[in-house]
Chain A
C-alpha cells in the first residue's frame, strides 16, 4: 500500500491473460478490488470468471496446462513475480470451493490443522488452540451448531454446515482476502441465505471476492459486481465493473443489461 490513492484497493489486476495451452480463457482483464467489500463476479457459464478468481491466489498453477500473463498486485507486490512463493500468497488469500470439501478429520481438527500448518502458536497474549477454534467457528456462524460435537467428523454435518466449516478453516489461516468459487451453488436456499449473511458479516474484516451464477445472490450480498462474458473467440472479457446498485439499476453496457434482465446467459 505505497500510495494513498489506491490504499482502499485490496488487489489490483492489470492486463491479465490466462491460457489453457493455446486457448485464451481470460483476455486482458484489469480490475481493482476494493478492500473489505464483497465483490461478485457474474457472467454466463464458460466466461472465465472462475479461472479469473483462481488466478488471484495462484491456484491455477495446479493445472499443468494453465499459464498466466499480466500483473496481479497485492500488498504492493506482483504475486506473479518470479521470487514470490505461491504458498505464501495462498496463506494471505484464502479460498473456499464450490463443493464443500472438509478434510475427513474432526470438525476441531479441520480448523486446528489449518492454523497449525500456518505457524499458529498459542501462547502469552495469544489465544489457545481451543479458543482459536472457537473464535473461527463463531466467525463462520457455526459454533452454536457444532460446539457439542467438535470431535465428530467434518463430513458428518450437513452441506451448508460443511461449507461454513470450510470458511472457518480459511479464517483460521488469518487471510486478508477470501476467494469464494460459487460457495452456495451446491446448497439449499436456507443454507444459501446463511452463507450470504456470513459473507456480509465477514466483509467487516476481510475482502471477499465471490463467483456466482445466481444474479439475485450477487445483488443481495455484494457491494461491487463485475460482469464477465465471452467475446467472439470464446475468451472471457470483463464487460462492466461497478457498484452493485449501479450495475443492476443502471448498467452502462447493453450486454450487462441483457444479462441481468435474463435475456441471455
Chain B
C-alpha cells in the first residue's frame, strides 16, 4: 500500500463522481418538484374558484319583508306563511300548498320557499378567492357602483346545500345530489361485479390454468384489453347492456324499472360497463400479486396435507390481498373519473330525481362537471369547481378505505 502513486488512485475520480451524483439528485428533485407544483396548482385553482365574493340581487328587496337588521330565520312559521300568502299569486300558493300543506312543512322549508319564490335571488357577479382576499375594498366599491341593490356575500360554493340539492337552471339552487348518488351507486355496482370476477379469473389463470396456447391467448388478450380506450367499452356497454339485455338492465324483467318506456340506460348498465372497463386492470394486478406470493408458502401448505383450495384460501389470497387491493384502488379510481363510456351508455345530462334502485336513470359527477363547465355563465364554473372538489374527496375517501383494509391485511 506504500507504493508511490497508489494513494491518489483512490480519490482521483471522486470529485467528478460526486458532482455527477449531485446532478442526478437535483434532476430527480426537480421532477418531483414539478409534479408537486402541478398538484398544488390544481387544488389551488379549484379552491380559488369555489370560494369568493358574490353579488346577489333579490327581485323583492329583503328590507320590504322584514324590518332592518333582522333575518328571515327570526320569523316564526305563521309569519312566514303570511309572507308567502302576501307575496305570491293565489295560484302559485295553492300549488305549493297542494304539494305539501304549509302547516306540516318544516320552518327551514318555509324559509327556503320565501327565498326561492319571493326573494328570487340572482347572482350578478362573482369573484375568485384570491381577488376577494387581496382586493376586498375594490370589489366592495365595484359592487356598490355596478349593483347598488345587490347584497355582497362571501360565499363558499362547496357547502352542504350543494350536496343536498339537485340540478337546477338556477345556479344558487343547483346541487350535485343526483350526480353524487349516481357516482356512488355505479361505483358500488362496478366493485361488486369486477372485484370477484377479476380475482376469480386471475386465480384461475395463475393457480389452475396449464400453459396451453389457449390460455396464453387469453392472457395476451387481457393484457391488450387493459389498454383499450374507454369509449370502446362504452360502445360495448351500449350494444350489450343497454340494447341486447335491455329487458334485464331496464328492470322490466323484475317489474321494477323507473316506469315509462323500457330502456336500458340505467345505473346497472353504467356499473356493468365500468366493471368491464376495470376488469382487465383488476385481473392483471391480482395476477401480479398472486405471482409475488413465494412458492415456499404453497409448498409448505401442500406438504402439510392441505388441498389446493385450502392453500389458495388460507395462504395465497391473504398474502396477495395487499397487492390485490392496491390494484383495485387504481382501477376504481379510474372508473370513478370516467365520462366517455357513460355518455355513450346514456347518462342523463339533466335529471333531478334520486336513483332509487339499480334500474334508475342516472348521471354521474364527471358528467355533471363537464356539463357545468361547458356552460357560458361564469357562475356555473364555480359550482363545477366545487363539484370537482367533492369528486376528489370521494376518490380520496374510497382510496383511504382501501388503504386501511390493505394495512389490516399486512399485519
Contacts and interface: CB of A to CB of B under 8 A. Distances in A.
Interface of A: 57, 59, 62, 64, 87-88, 90-92, 94-97, 99, 101-104, 113-114, 117-118, 166, 169-170, 173
Interface stretch (B79-87, B239-247, B267-275, B301-309): B301-309
28 contacts: A57-B303, A59-B303, A62-B299, A64-B210, A87-B306, A87-B307, A88-B305, A92-B305, A95-B299, A95-B303, A95-B304, A99-B296, A101-B294, A101-B296, A101-B297, A101-B299, A103-B297, A103-B300, A113-B314, A117-B305, A117-B306, A117-B310, A117-B314, A118-B304, A166-B300, A170-B304, A173-B304, A173-B305
Given A64-B210, A113-B314, A117-B314, A97 B306 contact: no
Contacts of B300: 97, 101-103, 166
Contacts of B303: 57, 59, 90, 94-97, 170
B167 interface: no
B319 interface: yes
Nearest to A86: B302
A259 to B, nearest CB: 29
Contacts of A59: 299, 302-303
B315 interface: yes
A39 to B, nearest CB: 18
Interface in B59-84: none
Contacts of B319: 104
A241 to B, nearest CB: 25
- Pick from A88, A91, A97, A101 the residue with the most CB of B within 10 Å: A101
Which of under 10, 10 to 19, 20 to 34, or 35 or more describes the interface residues of B? 10 to 19
Contacts of B306: 87, 117
Given A64-B211, A104-B319, A117-B314, A91 B305 contact: yes
A96 B305 CA distance: 12
Contacts of A170: 303-304
Interface in B284-330: 294, 296-307, 310, 314-315, 319
A177 to B, nearest CB: 12
A97 B296 contact: yes
Contact of A103 (B211, B302, B305, B315): B315
A173 B304 CA distance: 7
B123 to A, nearest CB: 59
Contacts of B310: 117
Contacts of A95: 299, 303-304
Contacts of A169: 304
Contacts of A87: 305-307
A168 to B, nearest CB: 11
- From B296, B300, B305, B306, name the one whose CB has the most chain A CB atoms within 10 angstroms: B305
Contacts of B302: 59, 62, 90
A109 to B, nearest CB: 10
Contacts of B299: 59, 62, 95, 97, 101
A121 to B, nearest CB: 16
Q: Which 3 pairs between the two chains have the least Cβ-Cβ distance?
A: A91-B305, A95-B303, A101-B296
Contacts of A96: 303
A98 B22 CA distance: 45
Contacts of A103: 297, 300-301, 315
Contacts of A101: 294, 296-297, 299-300
Which one of B297, B301, B302, B303 has the greatest number of beta carbons of chain A within 10 Å?
Answer: B303
A107 to B, nearest CB: 14
